Chains A and B, each alone.
Chain A
Amino acid sequence: GEDVEQSLFLSVREGDSSVINCTYTDSSSTYLYWYKQEPGAGLQLLTYIFSNMDMKQDQRLTVLLNKKDKHLSLRIADTQTGDSAIYFCAEKGTDSWGKFQFGAGTQVVVTP
């Protein structure tokens, strides 16, 4: 079955770049997503990438996709304290009735 894996924790200094990694197993994935969850809140879409793309940039966010290795990463440039949150990688296949397969989430802590 499908499986999405992420590291559970990342500590980064304010102003540095953060890189969060994700691997997935479903080769039929069409879209891959990054969601952000702040404390006590629901998940909010940060960005997504279509499976035929290698890279997508959106302001401070850069998504890299290596489809051969089924590896997805999210880079946050100039990390701020407001970026402290849990980041979820998610994938959606072609026949999944809109169902998302989520990773366990990476807790990002930004230190001054």
Chain B
Amino acid sequence: NAGVTQTPKFRVLKTGQSMTLLCAQDMNHEYMYWYRQDPGMGLRLIHYSVGEGTTAKGEVPDGYNVSRLKKQNFLLGLESAAPSQTSVYFCASIRDAPYGDTEAFFGQGTRLTVV
């Protein structure tokens, strides 16, 4: 009964380093999303995927890349981390009916600090 699992939960990076955040869901959901949460700004959509092998840009995609090679996994990559990417990152997934009373299931978040 895991739902949506994010790894790692915490990470400190130096400016210029790269890393990948992993999101895994075991609910067979088609749609997956990466958000970042910053104080006073709520959640902003970085990238999303509407199915295996697909990705699309959200509201704040610059500096991030994503891949959805397997339906259950959605990876978020930072190629060259910047202090402006210090944030809490949330992954979410929904079942394959975006027009209905869709509940989004969220992971626990990854707290990333770039120094």
The chain A residues found within 8 Å of chain B, CB to CB, are: 4, 8, 30-31, 40-45, 48, 50, 88, 92, 94, 96-100, 102-105
Contact = CB atoms under 8 A, between A and B. Distances in A.
Contacts of A8: 40
Interface of B: 4, 31, 33, 35, 40-45, 48, 50, 56, 58, 90, 92, 94, 98-99, 101-104, 106-109
A98 B108 contact: no
Contacts of B56: 97
A27 B104 CA distance: 21
A92 B42 contact: no
Nearest to A4: B42
Contacts of B94: 98
Contacts, number: 61
A100 B35 CA distance: 10
Q: Which of A30, A41, A44, A98 has the most CB of B within 10 A?
A: A98
Given A41-B108, A97-B31, A99-B58, A92 B102 contact: yes
Nearest to B58: A99
Contacts of B48: 97-99
Contacts of A97: 31, 48, 50, 56, 98
21 contacts: A41-B109, A42-B107, A42-B108, A43-B43, A43-B92, A43-B106, A44-B106, A45-B103, A92-B102, A94-B99, A97-B50, A98-B31, A98-B94, A98-B102, A98-B104, A99-B58, A100-B43, A100-B104, A103-B42, A104-B40, A104-B42
